Amino acid sequence: MSDLNICIIQSHIFWHQSNKNKDHFNELFLKIKKDKNPDLVVLPEMFNTGFTTDINEALPYHEIENWLIEQSNKNNFAIIGSSLVLNENHERVNRCVLANKDNIQFYDKVHLFVLSSEFQDLKPGKIRPIFILNDWKIMPTICFDLRFPEWHSNQNEYDLLINVASWPKVRSDHWITLLKARAIENQAYVVGCNRVGVDGNNIDYQGDSMVYNYEGKILAELPKDESGIIYVTINKNDMLKYKKKFNLQKSKSHYSIKYEEDPK
């Protein structure tokens, strides 16, 4: 299977109202299933609460996992997005989850946002996983991760980079530029899914959700400041042909990333 059919949801998020957000996305899932029935649906960062570190909003991980599994099974597509959860050690983490029927893969955000309480209140992740969906290798990242090119360095490890975000309007030009840069330098498809609206901290988000191909060309984008849904089909064979013709790997320095919990 060389094609992957993706749906991106650019949405407002009800502040600290997890059940209301679940109901909202449940309705959208039914519409998406009826309209297109894609392989993968992408949700923004902290889709069930808005961007927060409030301990009262940190659900046990299994609650989010069970809901995603339920919706993936019910609608017959995989779902990816992040939420504030308590990990297995009861620590707050920003966890990106890919649910494909009963199969769960997850990534805990490594680069915590220094201009917010996330940096002090949440536990950073320690692993750099590659998710598998059908025959696609997907690198999951969350919002602020996007600023660190070394973290995304692609040594033929992934085909698709997905960044789920709550990226503020004030730095929207950074968002657009970095998404394009990650696509070009890694010769991979890049999906950026960002929210819209104003959150409980009076931070404004304009969306700019979009998909770039391996050359940095825009394949799909959603209007600014509007909730919406967009569909795109990406083709792995096209990407592989391009990479064979313009093989950056021949010149690339190969190295590994060593994670240090408390860098000196």
Alpha carbon of residue 211 to chain centroid:
12
SS3 197: strand
Q: What local confidence, expressed as pLDDT, does residue 240 receive?
A: 95
pLDDT band with cut points at 50, 70 and 90 for residue 258? low
Written out in words, the top-level CATH class of the domain with range 3-248 is: alpha beta
Mean pLDDT of 94-119: 96
Instruction: Find out whether 128 and 122 touch, Cβ atoms under 8 Å.
Output: no
Which of 7, 45, 180, 236 is labelled catalytic? 45
Which of 65, 109, 118, 221 is labelled catalytic? 109
pLDDT band with cut points at 50, 70 and 90 for residue 201? very high
The answer to whether 193 is a known catalytic residue is: no
DSSP 223: -
Q: What local confidence, expressed as pLDDT, does residue 41 receive?
A: 98
Q: What local confidence, expressed as pLDDT, does residue 263 receive?
A: 43
* Residues contacting 257, CB < 8 A, separation 6+: 128, 150, 151, 153
- What six digits make up the tokens of 212? 């770039």
Nearest Cα to Cα of residue 2 among 259, 238, 255: 238
- What six digits make up the tokens of 14? 């009800």
Render pLDDT for 135-155 as a digit per residue (tens, 0 to 9): 999 999 999 999 999 999 999
264: pLDDT strictly greater than 50: no
261: pLDDT strictly greater than 90: no
Q: How far separated are the first and last CA of the chain, in Å rounded?
A: 45
pTM of the model: 0.94
Give the span between the Cα atoms of 78 and 220, in whole angstroms: 20
Give the span between the Cα atoms of 72 and 231, in whole angstroms: 17
Which of 7, 96, 118, 143 is labelled catalytic? 143
Mean pLDDT of 69-98: 97
Instruction: Find out whether 16 and 55 touch, Cβ atoms under 8 Å.
Output: no
The answer to whether 143 is a known catalytic residue is: yes
Phi, psi of 241 (to 5 degrees): -65, -40
